[in-house]
Structure 1
Amino acid sequence: MNTIRCKIEHVSPFNDAVYRVLLTPETPFDFNAGQYLCVVMGENDKRPFSIASAPNAEFIELHIGAAVSESYPMQVIERLKNQSHIDIEAPGGEAHLRHDSLRPRLLIAGGTGFSYIKSIVEQQIALGQRVATTLYWGCRTQDAMYCEALAREWHATHPWLHFVPVVEDASPQWQGKTAKLLDQIQQDFISLNGYDIYIAGRFNMVGAARERFREMGVEEAHLYGDAFAFIK
């Protein structure tokens, strides 16, 4: 990865737990939809975050879940709020969009894993692709689904994309599925054979997903997630 100086354009909360960050790199760099960057906090302290923007976007966008004061991600937010520039290392990751594939796509996000999926969907839109795509986004509550309106807009605008929102703790007004994310996917699919699957979220969720998907016929060469580089 290359070290790149970035101007910090914008840091603002989506809600009380997730922040949106916009950066302008001083040196443009190429990346693939679904890759990540590392915010350089120190020589031996480089913190990875999925790039939420597509390669053609005006800014580099990050979604950083930072609900707890002094936590690992909140330290990054405080640094970004109090500086005009930050160094990043980019790009990283091999779980990027295989845009040449015509296999149906299953996109799975847990929490702020949506940032990874957002880059992939927006690149599909930019390329004018119409590959059948199903997007599952799971959160504990509807309030945590910080870009729900955007995902529903994709669903309404692009006939090839089907959005399935899933929350564990639903209000009476909730319009979506009420379940644990992996339980809902297992209920909706008999087999995952034939799909390109892209997944992001907490490592324990991604690891559990792989175990379940093996029982559902997943082709692991077509199961993409950066977490798999860190969990065996």
Structure 2
Amino acid sequence: MSHQISIEASDVSFACEPGQSVLDAALKAGIDLPYSCRKGVCGNCVGAIAQGEVTGVGGAAITNEACGPGQVLYCMCAPAGNVVLRPVSWKRLDPSARKTFKAKVHSNQLAAPDVSVLRLRLPTGQRAKFQAGQYLQILLEDGSARSYSMANPPQENDSLTLHIRHVSGGLFSQRVVQLAPGDLLDIELAFGHVELAADDTRPIVFVAGGTGFAPVKSLLDDMLKRRVQRDITLIWGARDPAGLYMPAAVERWQKQWPGFRYVPALSDVPAGEAGGAFAGRVDEALKASFADLAGHIVYCCGSPPMVSAVRGAAAERGLDPTDFHADVFVPGPQTAAPTE
């Protein structure tokens, strides 16, 4: 039996089928609520239930450390009856904003032993509309899809750049090493809810793990093109130096913003061998770099455990929970968030 979901102080109302999450029902109905991982980790989808009751989908927990008083994870809960939502934000999806393209491989380069930088060109005369930090889906022949963040800024809209980590047994990531210029891929974009406000001038800290660098690069290159001036820190973590695979991009930002602070973090390198890098995890690097994060914005992108650890570290340093924004990379075949 389906239940009806409404949004407080609006005329929006839609059905939620048995076993369907509040978030999935909203997206199916054309209502865009903030989200990223859809696995109850990132906390982007937190919101309140103004009326009614919800239960965990499949018995899952409906709250985590990102939830404030009275808030739940819309991605993990289903209505027990008719409910009224009080989301942090929402908007109607624009059907014309999401498009499919047959993109052509322009180049395919190995940036690290386990990372490919794949550059795609759109058909002549066509442009992709997306926001910095969003992602696309590569549509595979078996009907499944893989999701990857755009690493290029939205101003470069006739091409798309992806950073793809090679995952053992990964259906597409194992195939990517064989892609050659001229090969065609079916793609759809744009997906993802980017919450960083363009007019926010507060100090911002980007924390990336591995290929979580891709959406960070898109955001920073977009800020560079818009000549944004604000205090910026980048903490980029990898197991070893090879994992920090794009030093030229960092050098460009350092030239543009003399006060740009870069903290490379190497988790598998002993302190005596780390050179100028921080020896340890990115959450440890964050705590070592900041005594107080009050009044800052933190944008974190990486695996679920990494994001959880960074969220905890940021809270320890006084960050307001509403100023923590996350983009969680989940393993395929999940298509609701970027996959590594």
Equivalent residues in 2 for 1:99-178, closer than 5 Å: 99-168=198-267, 169=269, 172=273, 174-178=275-279
Tell me if the contact between 1:130 and 1:160 (Cα under 8 Å) persists in the aligned partners. Answer: no
Give, in angstroms, the shift of residue 162 of structure 1: 1.3
Larger RCO: Structure 1 or Structure 2 (Cα < 8 Å, ≥ 6 residues apart)? 1
Q: Kindly tell me: are residues 173 and 204 of structure 1, through their superposed partners in 2, closer, same or farther at Cα, counting changes over 3 Å?
A: closer
Equivalent residues in 2 for 1:184-195, closer than 5 Å: 184-195=285-296
Aligned partner (choices 102, 113, 118) of residue 16 of structure 1: 113
Question: What stretches of structure 1 of length at least 5 have no aligned partner?
Answer: none
1:59 partner letter: S
Tell me if the contact between 2:286 and 2:314 (Cα under 8 Å) persists in the aligned partners. Answer: no
SS of residue matched to 2:173: helix
Equivalent residues in 2 for 1:1-232, closer than 5 Å: 1-26=98-123, 27-42=126-141, 44-57=143-156, 59-66=159-166, 68=168, 70-78=169-177, 80-81=179-180, 84-95=183-194, 97-168=196-267, 169=269, 172=273, 174-227=275-328
Give, in angstroms, the shift of residue 45 of structure 1: 1.0
Greater helix proportion: 1
Give, in angstroms, the shift of residue 73 of structure 1: 4.4
Give, in angstroms, the shift of residue 125 of structure 1: 0.6
Tell me if the contact between 1:33 and 1:96 (Cα under 8 Å) persists in the aligned partners. Answer: no
Q: Kindly tell me: are residues 81 and 74 of structure 1, through their superposed partners in 2, closer, same or farther at Cα, counting changes over 3 Å?
A: farther
Tell me if the contact between 2:152 and 2:161 (Cα under 8 Å) persists in the aligned partners. Answer: yes
Note the alpha carbon deviations across 1:6-50, whole angstroms, 9 max, x for none: 111111111211000111122312111111111111464111111
Q: Matched residues in 1 for 2:297 and 2:175: separation?
A: 33
Tell me if the contact between 1:65 and 1:73 (Cα under 8 Å) persists in the aligned partners. Answer: no
Q: Matched residues in 2 for 1:117 and 1:52: separation?
A: 7
Q: Matched residues in 1 for 2:198 and 2:179: separation?
A: 33
2:71 aligned partner: none
Q: Which moved more, 1:79-88 or 1:59-68?
A: 79-88
Question: What stretches of structure 2 of length at least 5 have no aligned partner?
Answer: 1-97, 330-335
Q: Kindly tell me: are residues 106 and 59 of structure 1, through their superposed partners in 2, closer, same or farther at Cα, counting changes over 3 Å?
A: same
Larger radius of gyration: 2
Give, in angstroms, the shift of residue 180 of structure 1: 1.5
Q: Kindly tell me: are residues 20 and 96 of structure 1, through their superposed partners in 2, closer, same or farther at Cα, counting changes over 3 Å?
A: farther
Q: Kindly tell me: are residues 45 and 124 of structure 1, through their superposed partners in 2, closer, same or farther at Cα, counting changes over 3 Å?
A: same
**Which runs of structure 1 show a deviation greater than 4 angstroms over 4 or more consecutive aligned residues?**
none
Q: Matched residues in 1 for 2:155 and 2:140: separation?
A: 27
Tell me if the contact between 1:64 and 1:73 (Cα under 8 Å) persists in the aligned partners. Answer: no
1:142 partner letter: P
1:21 partner letter: L
Q: Kindly tell me: are residues 72 and 128 of structure 1, through their superposed partners in 2, closer, same or farther at Cα, counting changes over 3 Å?
A: same
Q: Matched residues in 1 for 2:146 and 2:260: separation?
A: 32
Q: Kindly tell me: are residues 166 and 132 of structure 1, through their superposed partners in 2, closer, same or farther at Cα, counting changes over 3 Å?
A: same
Q: Which moved more, 1:12-21 or 1:73-82?
A: 73-82
